[in-house]
Amino acid sequence: VSESDSITGTKPRIVVLGTGWGAVPLLKHIDTQKYEVVCVSPRNYFLMTPLLPSVSVGTVETRTVIESIRSLVGPKIKYVEAHCVDVDTKTKVITCNSDGTNTVSRGDDVKTLLEPSKRAGGASSRIIKDSARTRPQFDMKYDILVVAVGSENNTFNIPGVEEHAHFLKELLDARRIRSAISDAFESAMTPSQTAEERKRLLHFVIVGGGPTGVEFAAELADFVREDLQYYFPRLVANDVKITLIEALDHVLSMMDKQISDYTEKHFRRENIDVLMNTFVKSIKQREVVVQFKGSNELTSIPCSVVVWATGIKARPITNRIREIIGLKAQSNRMGILTDRYLRAKGVTDGSIYAIGDCATIEQPKLVDQIQTLFEEADTQRKGALDLQQFKALVERKIHDFPQLEIFSKTIEKTFEEADKEKSGFLTLATLHSALEKADKKIRALPATAQVAAQEGRYIADLLNQVTDLKSSDYQQQNLQSFRYKHMGALAYVGGDSAVLDFSGTKPIFDLFNLQPLSGRSAAYLWKSFYFTEMFTGRTKTLLAFDWVRTRLYGRDISRY
Ligand code: FAD
Ligand code: NAD
């Protein structure tokens, strides 16, 4: 442990890894009278990820979606810009460095921002050897470690993705995409360009029909219709094409079916081609190679800018922690398993917590939970139950099983599917097989800002209340375990429309039996939601200005 790190005060030290959606609410609400709090993260700002698709086409400017971590949390919390690369759970020491070898996603690379673009023209094509960055590796002691390091893009090791596709996860990714779109149009304007090459240059492909892919496709279509059409009328009329490729048979498959259907229809009107049941097998410099479901053949699609949005996986530091606590590294988003107080499983002294995208709360399987309820209700051991009675029992038990609350809609659907003859009675066997299928889908909480922020806030409240840090028996200290309150899912789908899915929001909105919402009213809700979510007055003002500026003068199409 370095000299500068010796714990001088008497307060226990909490080290928080990350400056994202999970870490910031925690840092804002933790009691600094009670704890010494240190935040370690390679990114010295909070990033408003829901607005990244807007940044990638210039609807909103880069500085609008970030807020310096220091201004957010104030001087009482120490911030150190570094990657945590290792944890020693025995001595309670973390090791950090500035390049986070193998721990950083492409967008985090701050150094490239300092390189002047060779393509900018003029005299400035030299590389400045920066002398302001000397960052020796350091160790730091902790009493409590909160891991909130998020996730990184999952390429599924598909060839060519790392080399040729853009991600949309960090601010620099959005800036790169904005620049690449501009590049494609300027290249297409070169007089000697062939018609075929123009078409390729102006074919934009998005891989992944989850919310990231859908929102980016929507913003791009808005950009083309509202601005590029004015500056490049012929190119837009003849050559521009946007294609969204999705491996499943629906986009936004995690939302209500009505919403997927609405989005697909809406995209057709917005001139976005949606290729469903299509799997991207590889990406080459000027093409995407796909396989259609049911066919063995590979088809090449010529294109220029490819945005890869096929989901997330655990970061190397998350897998490193998994290994330290005796679990295998994973190539999916599983991350660090926690109990319902969000403490990492396998750390016996309870000193490590994990929240947000890098964590999964371990829950008993749904099938086991339901089986227990079933047996409880079937007092006469008939092996069959009245559906209504059973539903009522599940409702009553919901507070004991947070998973039931979130997925009560799924459970209801499962009942209906299992009871094929509409007898109103269920046998344990039919229920069992149906629930096993449902279980696969719903084990983890979704990887969203909503979940991360609630978890961060929860940890702050929990640690503020803990009276005995040495005792891991939180029940004895009367501390509540974490309960997620789902407020619905929102996605912008372009043309001033958004979709809003309330399923699983029980008991808050479901009381009013709210149906999925789409169209303009949902877009206003989307806007007002993100406006109120913007963390400070400064960013709120910038966002309001950006929206007004875009409406009045259009987006800035210059590349820099
Ligand atoms: P993050 O917010 O990603 O923060 C992780 C932090 O850890 C970062 O500060 C990072 O720099 C830091 N870090 C990384 N490695 C290390 C390390 N080794 N040591 C220390 N620190 C490290 N969710 C919604 O609910 N609604 C939306 O509308 C929405 N829109 C989205 C749009 C896009 C384009 C994307 C990409 C995501 C969106 N999400 C949305 C998902 C949401 O952003 C994530 O679920 C959320 O950011 C997770 O929060 P987190 O704190 O776990 O991670
Ligand atoms: P996702 O996992 O939600 O969706 C990825 C999609 O890519 C899936 O539909 C999958 O079938 C498809 N896919 C995977 N491999 C493919 C391939 N080779 N070819 C074609 N399609 C392929 O990922 P995401 O959209 O990046 O979202 C990541 C997380 O962030 C999610 O938890 C999401 O809920 C959250 N998020 C939320 C919002 C919002 O609420 N508005 C916006 C963005 C992201």
Ligand 2 binding pocket includes 488 (Cβ within 6 Å):
no
Ligand 1 binding pocket includes 218 (Cβ within 6 Å):
no
List 424's β-bridge partners, or say none: none
Per-residue model confidence (pLDDT) at position 262: 92
Residue 40: closest CA among 77, 67, 10, 6: 77
Evaluated on CA atoms 418, 419, 425, 429, the torsion sign reads negative
What stretches of 258-348 adopt beta strand conformation (E)?
Answer: 272-275, 278-284, 287-292, 298-302, 306-308, 312-314, 336-338
Cα–Cα distances (Å) from 270 to 131, 202, 242, 266, 426, in that order, read 49, 16, 10, 6, 45
Would you list the domain boundaries of the chain?
3-42+82-116+130-154+313-362+447-465, 161-310+488-553, 366-442
Per-residue model confidence (pLDDT) at position 102: 45
Counting atoms of ligand 2 from 1, which one is nearest the CA of 50?
42
Q: What does each of the 560 residues of the chain score in pLDDT, given as a tens digit?
A: 444 454 556 899 999 999 999 999 999 999 999 999 999 999 999 999 999 999 999 999 999 999 999 999 999 999 999 999 999 999 999 999 988 774 433 334 444 333 444 444 444 556 666 777 778 899 999 999 999 999 999 999 999 999 999 999 999 999 999 999 999 999 999 999 999 999 999 999 999 999 999 999 999 999 999 999 999 999 999 999 999 999 999 999 888 888 899 999 999 999 999 999 999 999 999 999 999 999 999 999 999 999 999 999 999 999 999 999 888 888 788 899 999 899 999 998 999 999 999 999 987 676 777 777 777 777 777 777 777 777 777 777 666 665 565 556 666 666 677 777 777 777 777 777 667 766 665 557 889 999 999 999 999 999 999 988 878 788 878 889 998 888 888 899 999 899 988 766 654 444 445 556 777 787 888 888 888 877 789 999 999 999 999 999 999 998 87
Task: Report how far residue 549's alpha carbon sits from residue 543's, in angstroms, rounded to the nearest whole number.
Answer: 10
Ligand 1 binding pocket includes 322 (Cβ within 6 Å):
no
Ligand 1 mean position, distance from CA 309 (Å): 14
Tokens of residue 519, six digits: 């169209």
Contacts of 244 by beta carbon, 8 Å cutoff, 6+ apart:
205, 206, 209, 213, 214, 217, 251, 267, 272, 273, 274, 275
Ligand 2 mean position, distance from CA 211 (Å): 6
Task: Report how far residue 418's alpha carbon sits from residue 80's, in angstroms, rounded to the nearest whole number.
Answer: 54
Contacts of 457 by beta carbon, 8 Å cutoff, 6+ apart:
25, 26, 29
- Examine residue 507 and say whether the peptide bond preceding it is cis (omega within 30 degrees of 0): yes
CA angle 74, 113, 222 (to 5 degrees): 90
Ligand 2 binding pocket includes 518 (Cβ within 6 Å):
no
In 206-312, which residue ranges form alpha helices assigned H by DSSP? Answer: 211-223, 229-231, 233-238, 257-269
Residue 449: closest CA among 525, 535, 517: 535
Ligand 1 binding pocket includes 43 (Cβ within 6 Å):
yes
Topology (CATH) of 161-310+488-553: FAD/NAD(P)-binding domain (3.50.50)
Ligand 1 mean position, distance from CA 171 (Å): 11
Query: Cβ–Cβ contacts within 10 Å for residue 528, how many?
Result: 10
User: What is the b/e burial string over 32-51, where b = at least 16 CB atoms within 10 angstroms of the residue's CB?
Assistant: eeebbbbbbbbbebbbbbbb
Ligand 1 binding pocket includes 154 (Cβ within 6 Å):
no
Domain 3-42+82-116+130-154+313-362+447-465 has CATH 3.50.50.60: yes
Per-residue model confidence (pLDDT) at position 38: 98
Length of the chain, in residues: 560
Ligand 2 mean position, distance from CA 307 (Å): 12
Per-residue model confidence (pLDDT) at position 219: 97
- Ligand in nearest proximity to the CA of 207: 2
Domains 161-310+488-553 and 366-442 share a fold: no
Nearest CA to ligand 2 atom 26: 311
- Ligand in nearest proximity to the CA of 52: 1
Topology (CATH) of 366-442: Recoverin; domain 1 (1.10.238)
Angle (deg, nearest 10), helices 211-223 and 257-269: 20
